[in-house]
Structure 1
Amino acid sequence: MNIITTTQWDELLWREAEPLYNEAFPDHGRKPIPIIRQMFERKLCFLHLGIAGDTADVMAITGELPSVRALLIDYIAVRQDSRGQGTGRHFIEELKNWTRGERGLSGMLIEAEAGDGPDHRSRRRFWEACGFHLTDYVHEYSWVPERYQAMYVNLSPEGELPDDGRLLFESITDFHKRSYQRK
């Protein structure tokens, strides 16, 4: 798998990523394209594509959280017909290497839906298999109906992330606020 990462809006790369993004996230669960463009303009995010052959199999939108020296995986999606084949795990390992090596960050975070349904449990098992740890704190946003828990992985023994979900969500919430702020 070839991993492409960009810090700038790239229409051609977005055309590869967008079908995965739309397939994985319902309208109410994804940021509108103008907000994502704005995030790129403000240097808040990265787009990562995992390409196998001539097709994008996985995409992620990430952003740095300077207060905890971590990379937030804001969105990640694996092509439906590539799931269950190790594609996601391989991509996450490459993303860990990039985060540690290229960005010099100490860890990575994601927001996992806090529900107890089979899909929620399956997603949490995926992240745990990738080395992430679930925090106890359940966060509720006023703008979305789902509740979330932070999951984190440390990439450096020198700069361990706190296992306090409240503290992690302070940084995550700040990232989302900056994403939606008007110019």
Structure 2
Amino acid sequence: MPAQRRDGYPIAKTGHGPYGNYFHQPQVEEIKCLKDQMSQANKEINSDYECLPVDFYEVTDTDSIEFEEATRIYAESFPENERRPIAAINEMVNGGRGRLMVGKRENEIVLMSLLYPLADKSCLLVDYLATAKEHRSTGLGRAFLRHILDRTDDLQFNSILIEIENPYLDDDDAKLKRLKFYKSLGMKELQGVRYLLPPFQGDEPVELILLIFSRDDADHLAGEAVRSLVIQLFGELYDRFEDDWFLTSTLGSIPDFVPLI
């Protein structure tokens, strides 16, 4: 029987990966009350910000209750054509390709995130991030991303990348708020890059934009560097290569000079 944490959950098994042991130690983040210091934009997004502790840690045991609860939150939070099958996540976690993080508050799993470190360790992709329905708009997503962004140096990645649905296609308020939320954390949009997410199920792709947080706080990227990054993402995450229509369409949208805004 696996060792138990004091709250009754099994301890996540220690594994090996590009993070060393850093993510294998539970991290307790005090979500501080910052309402008075927040910008107006942040107040709009975090109107129900709560001051409760949350415990962030990695789960490597795919037979654990934590894995089951994390994948339940995941399935409830993303449409089918954007979701990897649970079996694929199981395989990624067991193989060390993906890192499943959870947030626990008051003995309940309230957040999940699937992180993907690129093979050359140049970039960490926050592949999925979701909060349980009843805990949304409480500052959990902000606390988790701050937890990751503040540790860029410790994790030895040059940059952290996030994909979000393109909010400019339909001026969707929720998507625009999501973009504003990530930018409020210091992430920058790769302007002009039309990123087509290959469908995991069905035939319809999803158009995304890319956001990056880099240690050097650059204001632009060379188009060739972005093309190389996209080729790497498509190959490692989606098993799609340069003869793939979605990849060639995305590459064709990348200008020679990519402003970060």
TM-score by length of 1: 0.83
Aligned position for 2:195: 139
Aligned position for 1:35: 88
Q: In structure 2, how many angstroms separate the alpha carbons of the residues matched to 1:16 and 1:4?
A: 14
Out of 199, 207, 212, which is 1:152 matched to? Answer: 212
Q: Indicate the SS of the match to 1:39.
A: helix
Is the contact made by 1:134 and 1:151 (CA closer than 8 Å) also made in structure 2?
Answer: yes
Deviation string, structure 1 residues 115-167 (Cα, Å, up to 9, x no partner): 4322221211111112111112011244342111110101x339999475544
Out of 103, 106, 118, which is 1:65 matched to? Answer: 118
Check if 1:17 corresponds to 2:83.
Answer: no
Partner AA of 1:171 in structure 2? Q
Identity %: 21
**After alignment, is 46-55 or 137-146 more displaced?**
137-146
Gap runs ≥5 in structure 1: none
Aligned position for 2:41: none
CA pair 178-6 structure 1, distance change in 2 beyond 3 A: farther
Out of 94, 114, 135, which is 2:166 matched to? Answer: 114
CA pair 85-18 structure 1, distance change in 2 beyond 3 A: same
Check if 1:129 corresponds to 2:184.
Answer: yes
Q: Shift in Å at residue 52 of structure 1?
A: 0.8
Question: Relative CO higher for 1 or 2, CA cutoff 8 Å, sep ≥ 6?
Answer: 1
Deviation string, structure 1 residues 40-84 (Cα, Å, up to 9, x no partner): 233211010011111112110011014461110111001222222
Check if 1:176 corresponds to 2:228.
Answer: no
The structure having more radius of gyration, on CA atoms, is 2
Partner AA of 2:210 in structure 1? A
Is the contact made by 1:68 and 1:171 (CA closer than 8 Å) also made in structure 2?
Answer: no
Across the aligned residues of Structure 1 and Structure 2, the Cα RMSD in angstroms comes to 2.6
Is the contact made by 2:159 and 2:213 (CA closer than 8 Å) also made in structure 1?
Answer: yes
Is the contact made by 2:198 and 2:206 (CA closer than 8 Å) also made in structure 1?
Answer: no
Partner AA of 2:194 in structure 1? V
Aligned position for 2:145: 92
CA pair 29-151 structure 1, distance change in 2 beyond 3 A: same
CA pair 148-142 structure 1, distance change in 2 beyond 3 A: same
* Count of residue pairs brought into register by the alignment: 177
Is the contact made by 1:106 and 1:160 (CA closer than 8 Å) also made in structure 2?
Answer: no
Is the contact made by 2:61 and 2:67 (CA closer than 8 Å) also made in structure 1?
Answer: no
| Higher share of residues assigned helix | 1
Q: Indicate the SS of the match to 2:73.
A: helix
Is the contact made by 2:55 and 2:103 (CA closer than 8 Å) also made in structure 1?
Answer: yes
Q: In structure 2, how many angstroms separate the alpha carbons of the residues matched to 1:92 and 1:112?
A: 14
Q: Shift in Å at residue 87 of structure 1?
A: 1.4
Q: Shift in Å at residue 27 of structure 1?
A: 1.9
**After alignment, is 10-19 or 86-95 more displaced?**
10-19
Is the contact made by 1:100 and 1:107 (CA closer than 8 Å) also made in structure 2?
Answer: no
